[in-house]
Chains A and B, each alone.
Chain A
Amino acid sequence: MPGEKSASVEEIDVSAARKIAAGHRAQGNSLVTVLQDVQTEYGYLSGEVLEAVAEEMEVPFSQAYGLATFYSSFSLQPRGKHHICVCMGTACHVRGAANILEKLERDLGISSGETSEDLKHSLESVNCLGACALGPVVVVNDAYHGKVSSRDVDKIVADLE
């Protein structure tokens, strides 16, 4: 029953989530896939959206929420306009990735995993991007920056406008 519940919540329109979920209802095993598609649509998984998916898939909310918190690729927060991702793989680690992440945290004023209040920046660290030759690697909105030094971070941050 789209519309009925959403009147009380903010402007998030959950109809797209319902539509994605409805297409998969027949296969009860596809909740992870549904959440992935829903996240692609919305950029993140809000409580309202998760509720709509659970209802549509006829599973308890706790199950959807459980998956969304277990798997690290799901985000319960919106991402910033600029999403910055720092690789923490072993190759990047031995080449100083921790310092790069810390500098980004300092310069952007947010911790890894957070989004700035004005929704401009979000920062995230990942286990390994598999671009080990380029370590340390920072990915800004899908653009790779390789062999990043702290001075490159200055440039990266300056270019974010």
Chain B
Amino acid sequence: MSTVATAKLASLEELEALRSSIRVEQQKTQTTVALCCGTGCQAYGSGRLIEVFAEALAKEGLEDSVRVRATGCHGFCERGPLVVIHPKGTFYQRVGPDDVGEIVAKTVKQGELIERLLYVDPQTKEKAQTEEQVGFYKHQHRLVFGNNGAIDPKSIRDYLAVGGYAGLAKALSELKPDELIEQITESGLRGRGGGGFLTGRKWRSCREAEGEPKYVLCNGDEGDPGAFMDRSIMEGNPHSVLEGMVIGAYAIGSNHGYIYVRAEYPLAVENLGIAIRQAEELGLLGEDILGTGFDFEIRINRGAGAFVCGESTALMASIEGKIGDPRAKYIHTTDVGLFGKPSNLNNVETWANVPLIVNRGAEWFSSMGTEKSKGTKVFSLVGKINNTGLVEVPMGVSLRDIIYKVGGGIPDGRKFKAVQIGGPSGGCIPESLLDTPVDFEQLTELGAMMGSGGLIVMDEDTCVVDIARYFMNFLCEEACGKCTPCREGTKIMLDILGRICQGKGEAEDMDKLEALGEQVQLTSLCGLGTSAANPVLSTLQYFREEYETHVKDKRCPAGVCRQLITFSVTPEACTSCAMCVKACPVEAISGGTRKGKGKDRVRVPALIDQDKCIKCRACHEACKFDAVVIS
């Protein structure tokens, strides 16, 4: 809800006093309806639900005693719109405007459950009453994401009520910058943006670098397709990012910060902007923070749609108003970065972890995870998976557990084939390696990488050659063109992959791809090029047979590559309903109707003219009887 204008907090005591008063005030509201307004739920219409709830509550005279809270993403996008009713935590899914009246009358007023809105576990058929009982949430460990469902991202009061800015207060009052850096180093926190560099060590380099001013930067570019966790943090809990940055700035000795946000995320820009203003008003950002004499300001820069701008040097060039092409990093950006000054860049999720560590200590953080990968990691679990959404698990959990326990397995009884991890820089991991724990080193060893945390699940209907071609196409388009190996290498690899998908592959193509891939890996200028071959090399490593089938037999076993498949109708299965005939955009289907009169009336099964067929799949989709088959 709207923030009441409050004077700047001049001390830590004033912060704590404000927090207490907010908590007292919030306790007066017995019931809260938390409505997920993440991107997924909004697309399903949660924006409209807010209005309908407000109307329904007003009708019952409950507008003052029940709070409707529009929150950020709860993660379980598959089942949106999501509604949680506190204090009991009753969890409703797929809520529509027509359900609202009943929710208010029964659940809000009388605490009754509405059975049909509860989540039913597809395997056990058990109904879950709260989020904790849902398999998707049960196996998670939500820290960075812990408060997303509990706060309105546009309200700093909500963030303060759940303990926000206590980490900052502690850092400023109890820790010297060096001790703070020591704590972050000891926690084992590593960058969540892909590289996995030790955060404390980066901070130390920047602190010790010569030159003024120093810059503290947040990478919210999130360019990996299929990844949206940074978005959900920026949109759903923007203050956690700001708090992390202020703590980092204090440790590093910087007074200026920038957040670089991807062009496609207008809501993130809006919520971060609101958060910055609110934090400034309360003196948690800006001059003389909490009366300690420490100054730090943050500006937001919007990206303009270039994947390469997620790379550190390109990002800095972009903030400077230039074309975002990377430079070689003989000299680290911690020494010479933005505007030629020492700069410390961390990812959104990395920053959001910082307040947690300061609050609960390095030991607590490092007790989670594997030997070298500590804490939790947020993944976006998407593709051919039952429970699409954002999941946060401790490092060291196996991919199998993420996919089957949290994700609920593969839909429609299909078989798992591979999981792509790490986006365009990552790789495909097959069934046989699913017990691999999520850990920076172990994933890299398999030819994949943690990346930013996109997990794209593929089933037997996904063609791995097509996926490799997809990523190569992406990288080829996004390559900035500055260095030759990446610019030309991605283009040639794409050409070869395209040929293979068209059935024009040659026996040497696989070896060529491998040789070229290794060259591009070794000789490119920035991370885009050095990792560009990963999707190809990892699929060649684990799915070479599928490549060979494309090249030698001119067949696509998954039924994806257009030039290698044909569509036909099984006459016995065809009911002559003519749906396919209507769906075909090029009039390639004849028959599919009934002919004659009375007793002589016969069914004529549909027939696809192969010369006319453009393989658009419309008939396959339209057929309700599985009569259109792909071979």
**Interface of A toward B, CB cutoff 8 Å:** 28-33, 35-36, 66-67, 70-74, 88-91, 93-96, 99, 102-103, 106-107, 126-135, 137, 144, 146, 149-151
B227–A29 CB distance below 8 A: no
B387: min CB distance to chain A, Å: 9
A90–B226 CB distance below 8 A: yes
B319: min CB distance to chain A, Å: 7
**A133 touches which one: B319, B382, B474 (CB < 8 A)?**
B382
- 6 nearest A-B pairs in the assembled complex, by CB-CB distance: A133-B77, A130-B228, A73-B305, A71-B304, A144-B43, A90-B226
Contacts of A90 in B (CB 8 A): 225-226, 382-383, 420, 423, 454, 456, 467, 470-471
Is B265 among interface residues, defined by CB-CB distance under 8 A? yes
**Interface bracket on B:** 35 or more
A150–B39 CB distance below 8 A: no
B302–A149 CB distance below 8 A: no
A29–B383 CB distance below 8 A: no
Is B224 among interface residues, defined by CB-CB distance under 8 A? yes
**A91 touches which one: B306, B456, B471, B617 (CB < 8 A)?**
B456
Is B583 among interface residues, defined by CB-CB distance under 8 A? yes
Contacts of A32 in B (CB 8 A): 301, 304, 318, 321
**CB nearest to B618 among chain A residues:** A150
A132–B388 CB distance below 8 A: yes
B264–A130 CB distance below 8 A: yes
A91–B264 CB distance below 8 A: no
Bound CA–CA A9/B307 (angstroms): 35
A97: min CB distance to chain B, Å: 10
A132: min CB distance to chain B, Å: 4
- Additional A-B contact list (9), CB under 8 Å, known A90-B225, A129-B39: A35-B304, A90-B454, A94-B462, A94-B467, A127-B223, A129-B264, A130-B39, A132-B388, A144-B42
Is B622 among interface residues, defined by CB-CB distance under 8 A? yes
Is B297 among interface residues, defined by CB-CB distance under 8 A? no
B616–A70 CB distance below 8 A: no
Decide yes or no: A106 and B585 within 8 Å by CB, A72-B305, A127-B474 being known contacts: yes
B617–A133 CB distance below 8 A: no
Bound CA–CA A108/B365 (angstroms): 54
Bound CA–CA A94/B324 (angstroms): 29
Contacts of A129 in B (CB 8 A): 39, 264
Decide yes or no: A70 and B324 within 8 Å by CB, A90-B225, A133-B389, A134-B40 being known contacts: yes
B583–A71 CB distance below 8 A: no
Most buried by A among B231, B304, B320, B454: B304
Contacts of A71 in B (CB 8 A): 263, 304-306, 324
A–B Cβ pairs within 8 angstroms, 29 of them: A31-B322, A33-B301, A35-B304, A36-B302, A36-B304, A67-B322, A67-B323, A70-B306, A71-B324, A72-B305, A72-B306, A73-B263, A74-B304, A88-B225, A90-B470, A91-B225, A103-B618, A128-B224, A128-B228, A130-B39, A130-B228, A130-B231, A131-B39, A133-B78, A134-B44, A150-B583, A150-B618, A151-B583, A151-B622
Decide yes or no: A91 and B470 within 8 Å by CB, A29-B321, A99-B616, A126-B264 being known contacts: no
Bound CA–CA A135/B457 (angstroms): 13
Beta-carbon contacts under 8 Å, B339-396 to A: 339, 380, 382-384, 388-389
**Interface of B toward A, CB cutoff 8 Å:** 39-40, 42-44, 77-78, 80, 222-228, 231, 263-265, 301-307, 318-324, 339, 380, 382-384, 388-389, 420, 423, 454, 456, 458, 462, 467, 470-471, 474, 478, 480, 583, 585, 616-618, 621-622
B388: min CB distance to chain A, Å: 4
A84: min CB distance to chain B, Å: 15
Decide yes or no: A89 and B304 within 8 Å by CB, A129-B264, A130-B231, A131-B39 being known contacts: no
Contacts of B420 in A (CB 8 A): 90
Decide yes or no: A33 and B40 within 8 Å by CB, A90-B226, A128-B264 being known contacts: no
**CB nearest to B579 among chain A residues:** A151
B225–A89 CB distance below 8 A: yes
Bound CA–CA A35/B323 (angstroms): 13
A123: min CB distance to chain B, Å: 16
Bound CA–CA A90/B384 (angstroms): 11
B225–A127 CB distance below 8 A: yes
Bound CA–CA A25/B292 (angstroms): 35
Decide yes or no: A29 and B43 within 8 Å by CB, A71-B304, A90-B470 being known contacts: no
B40–A133 CB distance below 8 A: yes
A132–B323 CB distance below 8 A: no
Contacts of A134 in B (CB 8 A): 40, 43-44, 77
A99–B617 CB distance below 8 A: yes
Contacts of B80 in A (CB 8 A): 133
A73–B304 CB distance below 8 A: yes
Decide yes or no: A91 and B44 within 8 Å by CB, A130-B264, A133-B389, A150-B616 being known contacts: no
**B382 touches which one: A35, A132, A151 (CB < 8 A)?**
A132
Bound CA–CA A90/B225 (angstroms): 6
B226–A128 CB distance below 8 A: yes
Most buried by A among B223, B305, B324, B480: B305
Bound CA–CA A70/B314 (angstroms): 12
Bound CA–CA A93/B583 (angstroms): 21
A24: min CB distance to chain B, Å: 9
Contacts of A88 in B (CB 8 A): 225
B456–A150 CB distance below 8 A: no
A65: min CB distance to chain B, Å: 11
Contacts of A93 in B (CB 8 A): 225, 467, 470
**B265 touches which one: A74, A96, A106, A130 (CB < 8 A)?**
A130
Contacts of A96 in B (CB 8 A): 617
Contacts of A106 in B (CB 8 A): 585
Decide yes or no: A132 and B324 within 8 Å by CB, A71-B304, A94-B384 being known contacts: no
Bound CA–CA A70/B307 (angstroms): 11
A69: min CB distance to chain B, Å: 9
Contacts of A94 in B (CB 8 A): 383-384, 456, 458, 462, 467
A131–B583 CB distance below 8 A: no
**B40 touches which one: A30, A73, A74, A131 (CB < 8 A)?**
A131
